[in-house]
Structure formats: C-alpha cells, structure tokens
Structure 1
Amino acid sequence: MEHANSYFLEIILLLGGGIVAGTLFKRIGLGTVLGYLMAGIAMGPLLGLIHDGEEILHIGELGVVFLLFIIGLELKLSRLWAMRRRIFGLGAAQVLVTALGIGVIAFLLGFQVPTAIVIGFGLALSSTAFGLQILEEQGETNTRHGQSAFSVLLFQDLAVVPILAIIPFLAPYSSDTQIDVVQIAVSVAAVVGLIVGGRFLLNPLFRIMASAGAREVMLGAALFVVLGSAMLMAAAGFSMAMGAFIAGVLLAESSYRHELEANIEPFRGLLLGLFFIGVGLSIDIAVLFDDWQIILLATPMLMISKAALLYGLARLFGEGHDSAVRVSGLLSQAGEFGFVIFSAAAADRIFSAEISSLLIAITTLSMALTPLSTWFARLVLARGEDENEEEMDEDFEGAGSDVLLIGFSRFGQMVAQVLLSSGREVTILDSSAERIRTATNFGFRIFFGSGMRKDVLEAAGIRRAKIVAICTNKQETTNRVVDLIREEFPNVKLYVRAYDRNHALALRARGVDYEIRETVESALAFGGATLTSLGVEDPLARRIIEDVRRRDAKRLKLQESEGTTAGADMIMTQAVKPEPLVEPHAALQAVEDAGDGSENQGELVDNTAPRRRRRGRPFRGRRLSFRNQAQR
C-alpha cells in the first residue's frame, strides 16, 4: 500500500509540475516544451522529488509514437510519394553530410575512427519529438519548411536501423559481425505484413466496430492499432514511431480518420508532455558539473555546425532562404535516438561509459536549447514570399474551363462571384490551404497549387482557358505569374489585378490584355457616396466621378508612352467648387439630357477665371461647367 501511495504521489507531482510549468511558459511565450523540460529538471536533478527519470522517459516515448501516428493520418500515400525528393534527397544528404562533418571533427580531436563514426551518426540525428511538437504548437506542420523538416526527421528514423546494425562491426572485441539474414527477412516481412494488413484489413475491421456503436470499442481499437503496429516494427528492428507512422498513412484515406485522430489526441498530448519531463529528469547533474566546460563549449558548436550544414543542404535542394533558416534552427539539436546509439556503443566497448554519459549530456542540453534555436531562427528572418504557406495535395481532377482564375483573396473572391453568377465555369487556383478550406465552406471549389509553376498551370487547364484572370495580392507574385504565362503560353488573354499605378504601367509593358488597380473603383464609389452625403445631387456626383475616371484613364495612357511624370495637369489637386455657369437646375437638366453614347455628352471642365466679388467674399476655387463635345 505504501508503495502504491508513493507511485500515485509521483503521478500527482508529474501532472502538477507539468500543468504549472506548461501554463507558465506558454503564457510568457516560450512554449510548453521548454516548460516541461524545466519541470523535469526542477523535480528531478534539483529537488530530488522523482528519481525514475529513465523509466518515465521510456513511457513518454509512447507520446512520440502517437504523434507520428497522427501525422501519418494527415498524409496520404500520394502526398508521401510527392515528398520523396525531400525525404530521400534532403533527408539522406543531411544524415550523411552531417555525420561525416561531425565524425571528421571528432577524429581531429583524437578519437579513434570507430568512435568518430558512432559520434558522427549519433549527433547527426535530430529530435523528432521536439521538432514536431514545436511545429504543431506554432501551427506550421503543413508549411513548406514544416514539410521539409518532417521529411528530414522521417529519413532519420529510417536511418536508425542501419546505424544500429553497423555498431557491432565497429566494436573492437566483438565477433558478432555476421550479417543476420534471418533478421533482415523478418524486418522485410514485418513491413510488408503491416502494409498489406493496413491496406486490406483495417478499414473493414473499423467498419464492423463502428456499426456496434460503442465508443469505448473504437477507442480501444485505435490504441490497439497504434501500439500493435509500433510493437511489430520494433520487433522487426525498426523504431516504434515508424510503425505507428506507417499505420497512420495507411488509414489516411479512411472514413474513420477523424474519429481515430480525436481518440488518440489526448493520449498523444499527455504522453508527449511526459516525454519532455522525462528528458529533464534524466539530466545527470554530476556529469554536467564534472565536464561543464566541455559541455558548454561542445553543445553550441554542435548546434551551429548542424544548422550551417542543414541550411546549405536545404538551399541546394531548392528551399528558399526563409524555409532553410527555419529548418536549420528547428533541427540543429541532437535527438533521442542518440541515447540508444551511444548506449549500444558503450555496451559494445566502442567507447567508455564516461564518454557515453558526456555525449548523452550534450544531446540532452541541445534538446533543451531547441526552443531557443527556433526563436533565434525566427528572429533573424526576413519574411519571404509565400514560403510559409500551408501545403495540400495537388489534385486537379475536373479542372479546366473558359476562365482560369489565379488567386482567391478578397479581390479574386468578388471576381469569382461575378463570373459564377453569370453561369460561367471558373477554375480557381490558390496556394493557401487555409483560404481554400474557408472558401470550401461557402460552396466554392478551389484547386490547390501555385500559379508560378508551369506544371500546375498545365494541370489546371490553361491551354483550354480563353482568359486567365490573375488576382494575386502581391505584385511580385503577379509579375512572376504574368512573365511565366507570357513566356510559356503567349496566346492566352491575361486580365490582371494591379497593385498601384506603377504596377499597372509595368503590367501594360508586359503586354497584358486588361489591368485594373485594385482600389480605383472602390475609391471612386467611396468619393461619390461622400459627395452625396455632403448634399451634392446624385446626377452631378455621378458626372464628377465619371470625369475623374476619364481623366485618370487619359493620364495613364499618356504615362504609358511618356513616363510617370506625364499628365500632371490632368490631376485635380486643388479644392473644387462645383458651381456651374448657369443655374444649378439647368446644369443638372443638361447632365440628365446628355446620353452616355451621345456625341453631345458633356465633359466637366475648369472655367475658373477672375470675376467680381460676390456678397463681399472673393471666389477661392475653380468653377466647373459642362461643355458639350459639339461645342469644341
């Protein structure tokens, strides 16, 4: 009974410490991950309230398993295949290049070649738990840099198996250097069995259980699938997280996906928090005090080196500056798999237990500094263009119509309403997953993709489109789309939203068929409503607005050929007193009599001239009157 009370007391301490630290650190903007770490350090190494740090860490690793399962649920096989270049390109390059660089440094510091190899590969791996949790907290899991970081972490999880497999070959006194063909066969069979079973058995089983209507049965089934697949892959020599991830991917297209995610999410959050607390509990204060100089020097050097290498590799594989900086800041730490690798190497006497403890301390400290490195990466960033847009599946089934509309922000939404209200079919293309999800709730069908990619434009049916309406909200993006279409599809008509006057002139120089500045008509309508509110009668207000519109169009045409300073005399820059030469009612009657298509349509002209004082006050302004075209 006393042992049970002690056990429950530890649970209460873990829950209480996690609640207080997580809430506090979240409120001050440092994130829950750092809060859980600090709670673990305080309850373990500092105050000595809990001593089973490693056991709690092993239990908390189930949080990583559940996290990978939920991520797998968000990834269809087609999406995973589309990420293959990042996974096996950037991911493989990161592991190999980083391991080589760290290994060379370790060799130059005096370590033997086998030791340097283990140190290189062990420190090259990053923390899946920290990286993915921070991405999720910041809502960046599906951003470009989030997908790149996930691809690297996924390959690292795959790389753990061969890294552990080569350790016996590096051991100086081990005779167990034969390739275990049976184990390889078991590993391959386990992967194939999981894929086949997930593909053909999981959905029918969930259908049967769902028909029973028992919520606890579905909850138990969800836990069984996650833990069963994790244990199967662990028995085959892979990581448990990898098994859960594969199970999640296989269920990504299941109609029960959302219910599974809802059932697993509470366990995932609780256990992952427990994992971070376990990391804090596992920090060996004695090692920190004994070798604090080495640890304080080696940890930042490790993180800076990994970040620099990862930044260069990310740029090499096509990532933009912002994305590369974010990925390098997020994955600059060493990971939890380092604990396993260093412990295995010490057991095979590749290096001593003291070196293993030192490497584990460096790994732990680098993990604790991860929130700081991600904060620093955000601090040094200059925000890039569209690099943090969330990514979705590019599915263009059913695309292709007379109008291809690119960009569905506030301007594009109104254009789409006009076209759809006329009964026209419109193919709408946008690169914001959040905007697409929101618009879908209102009945719009929008295709995910970037108008700056030729293959996307082809898939969206640009060759069948009579008009391409470009409604993107950044002029740099608009210019790139226009340039691409003019180069690759020169016969397509381009109707383009312009940002301002200079942008409109730049678009005309690019040969677009129609452009309009985004604020012109709304500003004219606003001015007209203001005039009416001030007492100007509607016909006169409409004529003033039409005159301003006509002057502006003439000036823009003149600027197109003579430069931006041309046509300055066409701007009404002084206060205008709309006082016609004739009596007001006669002037309004003339306005009403002037038809829009008539040759006698009047034009608002400036008749300001010196005249006698009226009622003791000079005239301070310009007089406007209507002059018929026939009178000129």
Structure 2
Amino acid sequence: MTNYFLQAFIYLVAAVIAVPLARRFGLGSVLGYLIAGVVIGPVIGLVGEETSVIQHFAEFGVVMMLFVVGLELEPKMLWAMRNRLMGLGGLQLTLTTAAVAAIALYFEVQWSIAFTIGLIFALSSTAIVLQTFNEKGLNRTDGGRNAFSVLLFQDIAVIPMLAFIPLLALPELVEQAQQAATQVATKHEEISLVAGLPPWAYAIVIVAAIAILVVGGHYLSRPLFRFVASSGVREIFTATALMLVIGIAALMSLVGLSPALGTFLAGVVLANSEFRHELESNIDPFKGLLLGLFFITVGAGIDFGILWQDLGLILGLTLGIIVLKALVLLLISPVFKIGKSDRWLFALSLAQAGEFGFVLLSFTVQNHVLPSELAQKLSLVVALSMMLTPGLFILFERFIEPRYRSAKADREADTIDEHGSVIIAGVGRFGQVINRLLSANGIKTVVLDHQISQVDMLRRINVKSYFGDATRPDLLHTAGIEEASLLVVAMDNRDSAVELVKYVKHSYPKVKVLARAFDRGHAYLLRDAGADFIQKETLLSALELGADAMKCLGFHPFHVEQQKNTFKRIEKRSSDMLYGAWKDDSSGERFDNNYRKLFIELEETIKAAMARDRNDKYAMSERGWTPPPKGYDELLDGDEPLTVKRVDEPLPSTPGDEQIKP
C-alpha cells in the first residue's frame, strides 16, 4: 500500500509543478504533462515498469474525453458547420493520410502500417491549438474558425479510426502475442459475449448492443437522471454519471468493440438532454485528471535510448511531418477562400501531430497493428512536433502576420479627404455606437479601422469610414489630428490602444483622449498612458442588466435606480485609490496584497451603501423619478412580500452628492 501512495504522490507532484510552468511559458498543459513524465521517468528514474500498468488505467480518461466530445456535438451545430466540417476537415484528413502513406510506401513500408501511420499523423492537437487561440485572441479570425472546424472533424474521425484500425492487425504480431499469452498463464481471463460466435451471430450481437445503447440512452436515461436528481445529493449524480460511462465501456468491451466508440455514441445521444451540462461538469474533473495521468505515462514511457540512437531519423520525421501537413493545409485553403495571413495561421496552427496520436499508437500496439519499437519512435515524433507548436505560433506572430499587415496597410490604406472634430479609432461593436450617437447630433467624425471587412460593412450602410491603422503617425496626421478636439480609442487590440494613447498625449497634448478599456487592469494602463476619460466596456451594460434583474425580482424601479447610481458613485470615487495602489506596487505584480485589501474594502462599502434606506431623500440626478408608494413591497404578487434589507447607519456624505427632500 505504501508503494501505491508514493507513486501517486510522485505523479501528482510532477503534474503540479510542470503543468503551471508549461502554461506560463505558453507550452500548454498537454506538453506540461509530457515533460513531467519525461522528468520522473527517463531523466530521474522515479517511476519504472509500473508505468505501462498505470497507462492502461489512465486510458479511461480518453474514454471519458470522447464521451464529453459526444455531449458537445449537438446535431444543429454540426448541420450549421457541415460545409467546413465535412469539406475542409475531410479533405485535410484524406490528403494528409494519403501523402504520409504514399511516402511510407515509397520507403517499402507494409501498406497496412503505412496507412495506419498516415491516420495517426493526420490528426492535430486540439488541446494545444484551442488553448493558444484563446490566449492570443485568435478564435474570431477566419484562420482560427477554419482551424476549429478541422479539429472538430478530426476528433469525430477518431471514432471510426478506433473501429477500423483493429482490422489492420498483422498476423505475425497476433501470433507472437498468442504465444506470449500461452507462455505466461493468467488466472483471470477476459470476459467476452462474442467469443466463439460465428460471423453472422457476432454481427447480430454488435447491432443489438448499439441499438440498446441508442434506444436506452434516449428513453431510459432521462427517467434515471430525474430520479437521481430528485434526491438532491450531488455525489449520487456524480456516481450515476460514472456508472453510465463505465457501464457503456464495459458493454462495448463485452461485445468486442472499442469502449471509446460506445461512450462517444452515448454522448451524442445525450447531447440534447436537459442533463447534458450536469453530466459534463461531473465527468470533467475525472476526465482531466485521468487524461493528465495518461500523458504523464506517455512521457515516462519515452525511451531516450531510442531517441539518441535514431536522433537524426526522429528529428527528420518530425520536421518532415510539420512541413508536409503545412503544405497540404496551404494547398487546400484557397479552395475554401482562406487567404492572406489567415491562410498561414490555418496551416501553421494545425501542422503538428496531436494528443490522439498517443491514443492511437497505444491502441495499435494493443491490437497488433504496429510493432512496439516502431510505435515508440512515432511517439517521440508526435511529442516533438507538439513541443515545436509554440514556435510555429511565434513564427506567425513575429514574421508572417506583421509582413501581411504592413503590406496590406501600405497597399490599401485609404486617402482621407475630410477632417472632423472627433477621430474614432476602431469601429467594432463599441465604436459604432459612439459614432452613431455623435453623428446623430451633427458632430463630424473621422472613422478609422484596420479591418477592411469592417470598413466595407459600414460603407454598405452609408457610414463613411476609412481603412487604415490608427497607430501610424502619418495616417493620424492625414486624418487631421492637429485640428481634432477628441480622439476616441475603441480598438480591439489592447496593447495597440495603450500605445496610441501614449503617442497622442505625448505628441498632441491638447487633444482629449477618450478610451475604451476591456477590464480594470487595462483601464489602469490607459490611465497611466494619459487617457483623459476611460470607460470599461462592460461596466454600464452590466449595471443595466443587473438593474433589470432587480426589477424582475420585484424591486421598485425608483429603488433600483438609486442603488445603481450608488454603485456607480462609489465605484468612481474609489477609482483613484485603487489606481494609486496599483501604480505604487513595486513588486511588478500590480495586484498585490494592498490592492486586494482595498478592493475588498470597496466591496464592503458597496454592500453597506446598498443596505441603506433612502426612501426619505434622493439625489438631484434622481429628481425625475417617482418614489414608490408606502407599502409597495406588500402589494407585490406572491405568497410572501419581497423586502429589501435595510440598516439605519448613515453613510459618510460624498462631495457633490446633494440630497433633496422629496
């Protein structure tokens, strides 16, 4: 028992240290797990032969992952994405598999092995790519959206791969496995419902098992989940979710099918269930932990002797796979009208092999499709290609995208033939509202945006705008920054927004700069750069929606307006104090303990202000409101009147907050 505790502790310590460090350096959690396995395995030698045994247990994380993938595949979403999903994803998978298999056949590799290698290397890393897209804000780009379609198709394609690959088993490997099994007698034999059945009976059993899975999942799961949910015990619902996944995996194993295939089908069946999100939230922690353990065992199982022995071959294969996949993606991107920098983002982001490659390699060895020595070399190629992925994104960001951006700006920047008192930099969803309000009041504006599609869209609705990068000094000069009264910064790139504010306040200090901030930290950076007025983009809309929520709960509109104004007043009053704490932090963290303490005090102040009874007075900004009549809360519908918690302690008066007796 002590050994089990020690091994579990070693694996967990490795994950706790390596994964956060990998995320911090932009490598992704999957690479963090792999590096952790390499360190505790081949490098230090803390784990050894038990790794293969643990890996069999950890593979259940793959089963859970495919169940969650199935839960997320709603038929409506798949139908809406059908063209990109089937066309782009199917073409990428087919061409990459064919190209890799053809090269392997050229080097006289057996056709079944060549085809299997092609399938494995056709897949890309969903975990690394989507995480990097989220971190770098590339999800909404054309290249990012198309890459997501391909990744989704690849995840779905793993299911038929798992069903098809066992048919490619090599007779000599099967014979060797049977001899080994005969020599090593085992006390526990695998239980099977199809052992010794004729082919026609085996087919009937498989069809019956799938039918039970689909029909039972559709008609029996809901009554079961309702019964369990009625108990109100969360851990029982978690046990039910695990029971469902384990039971389906066991059923598929009994009839000789892949457990992953069964759980994926079950997930698709339950995708429209009202319990889908609850199932996903209960399964997700187990899935993440077991998947992490699986990747650690993959890293721990890497044989560095093989790596150093065939270093040139493995590095050559790694670079060759990346180049080959990138070329295939670059060739098919014009067919789906993916152009310019998006084309390179699409190609480079999917050029690596993926985490499912480890799953398929382990699966091929178990089903006697690939020799274990070859699978180990291919595992090294998959791992190295994933480790090079951050470098591919750096290549895109630092060398490819700037070249397209500068060439595009130099070639297509519009000639600005009129000036206005206000220049608006960025006319996305935020800047458009500002421009409409100012234009409706007869204020002349000059609208700039660096996205040509955004400018064309505005022109189609008769809003005059100009394509160009507002951070370019020459373009600002052409737009008339010297004569302008205001510059409104509503750009989507937060770093560019800060640099623009800094440049304008330094070069044209008389120009008032009004800036949109994404969050509190961005607001502090803009203020530090010299912006005259800053508005956090979500603050007012969130306050309005919160006010609507209070009204829906029965609060009188007058009281809601008072509370909303109180929140805004205290938030504005505390802004200078919090900004000072943020700016004075010498540790570089910016949000240190002193700042957190002040923020907590702000929250307590807001709560106290909200609890104050103000029915006897109101501010000048509220004089147009009619206070609620006495006994209003008792007139509300319902068995129990809705009341507002009140306290009698008065708040300290605020300068400028004039109170008027009603």
Normalised by the length of structure 2, the TM-score is 0.54
Letter in 2 for 1:496: V
Structure 1 pair 128–65 and aligned structure 2 pair: CA distance change class (3 A): farther
Change (3 A) 1:254 1:375: farther
Correspondence for 2:12 among 11, 15, 39:
15
Judged with a 3 Å threshold, the aligned counterparts in structure 2 of structure 1 residues 524 and 5 are, in CA distance, closer, same or farther, namely closer
Say which one has the larger Rg. 1
Pick from 36, 42, 46 the counterpart of residue 43 of structure 2: 46
CA contact (8 A) 2:19 2:32 kept: yes
Counterpart AA for 1:409: R
Structure 1 residue 381: Cα displacement: 4.7
Which of 14, 27, 30 in structure 2 is aligned with 1:30? 27
Aligned equivalents of 1:131, 1:182: Cα separation in 2:
44
**Amino acid across the alignment from 1:196:** V
Distance, in Å, in 2 between the alignment partners of 1:378 and 1:186 is: 53
2:289 is equivalent to residue 270 of structure 1 = yes
Which consecutive residues of structure 1, in runs of 5 or more, have no partner in the other structure? 386-406, 419-470, 486-493, 504-516, 532-632
Say if 2:71 and 2:271, in contact at 8 Å, map to a contact too: yes
Cα distance in 2 for residues equivalent to 1:297 and 1:269: 32
CA deviations on 1:90-141 (whole Å, 9 max, x unpaired) are 2332232112211221222233444433333343334555556656776777
Contact 2:66 2:264 in 1 (8 A): yes
Query: For the structure 1 residues 183 and 153, does the alpha-carbon distance in structure 2 shift closer, same or farther, using more than 3 Å as the test?
Result: farther
**Shift in Å at residue 20 of structure 1?**
1.1
Q: Report the Cα offset of residue 167 of structure 1.
A: 0.8
Which segment drifts farther, 194-203 or 77-86?
Answer: 194-203
When the two structures are aligned, how many residues end up with a matched partner? 435
Tell me the distance in 2 between the aligned counterparts of 1:122 and 1:364: 13
Tell me if the contact between 2:116 and 2:165 (Cα under 8 Å) persists in the aligned partners: no
Alpha-carbon distance in structure 2 between the residues aligned to 1:109 and 1:124: 19
**Deviation for aligned residue 1:303:** 1.9
Counterpart in 2 of 1:148? 149
Alpha-carbon contact 2:209-2:251 (below 8 Å) kept: yes
Question: Among 199, 202, 216, which residue is 2:221 paired with?
Answer: 202
Q: Which residue of 2 aligns with 1:284?
A: 303
Report if aligned partners of 2:298, 2:358 keep a CA contact under 8 Å in 1. no
1:260 aligned to 2:254?
no
Work out the CA distance in 1 between the residues paired with 2:54 and 2:221.
Answer: 31
What is the deviation of 1:218? 1.6
**Which residue of structure 2 aligns with residue 365 of structure 1?**
384
2:329 is matched with which residue? 310
AA aligned opposite 1:481: M
Q: Within 5 Å, which residues of 2 pair with 1:46-195?
A: 46-51=43-48, 52-127=50-125, 144-161=145-162, 163-168=164-169, 186-195=205-214
Counterparts of 1:231 and 1:10, CA distance in 2 = 27
Instruction: Give the conservation status (yes or no) of the 8 Å contact 2:162–2:360.
Output: no
- Aligned CA distance change for structure 1 residues 32 and 64 (closer, same or farther; 3 Å): same
Structure 2 match to 1:496: 463
Match of 2:457 in 1: 481
In the other structure, the counterpart of 1:297 is 316
Distance 1:298 1:304 in 2: 10
- Counterparts of 1:405-484 in structure 2, within 5 Å, are 409-413=429-433, 476-481=452-457
Question: RMSD value over aligned CA atoms?
Answer: 4.8
My pick for the range that moved more, 305-314 or 319-328, is: 319-328
Change (3 A) 1:8 1:172: closer
**1:10: how far off?**
0.9
Q: Distance in 1 between matches of 2:55 and 2:484?
A: 63
Conserved? CA contact 2:38–2:299, under 8 Å: yes
Match of 1:459 in 2: none
The separation in 2 between residues aligned to 1:321 and 1:238, in whole angstroms, is: 45
Identify unmatched segments of 5+ residues in structure 2.
176-196, 406-426, 439-446, 471-479, 489-509, 512-662
The CA distance in 1 between the partners of 2:436 and 2:226, in whole Å, is 40
Counterparts of 2:288 and 2:363, CA distance in 1: 29
- Deviations along 1:232-267, one digit per CA (max 9) or x if unpaired, are 556666654454444444444444344333323322
Asked if the contact 1:76–1:249 (Cα under 8 Å) also holds between the matched residues in 2, the reply is yes
Q: 2:469 & 2:102 partners in 1: Cα distance?
A: 55
In the alignment, the residues of structure 2 paired with residue 368 and residue 227 of structure 1 have an alpha-carbon distance, to the nearest angstrom, of 33
How far does residue 289 in structure 1 lie from its aligned partner after superposition?
2.3
State the SS of the aligned residue for 2:463.
strand
Structure 1 residues 10, 237: closer, same or farther in 2, change over 3 A? same
Distance, in Å, in 2 between the alignment partners of 1:56 and 1:138 is: 35
Native 8 Å contact 2:88 2:336 kept in 1: yes
Deviates more, 1:21-30 or 1:183-192: 183-192
Q: Given the two structures, how large is their TM-score scaled by the length of structure 1?
A: 0.57
Q: 1:355 aligns with which of 360, 366, 374?
A: 374
- Give me the identity figure in percent: 36
Larger deviation, residues 96-105 vs 156-165: 156-165
Cα offset for 1:47? Answer: 1.1
SS of the residue corresponding to residue 333 of structure 1 reads: coil
- Where 1:95 maps in the other structure, the secondary structure is helix
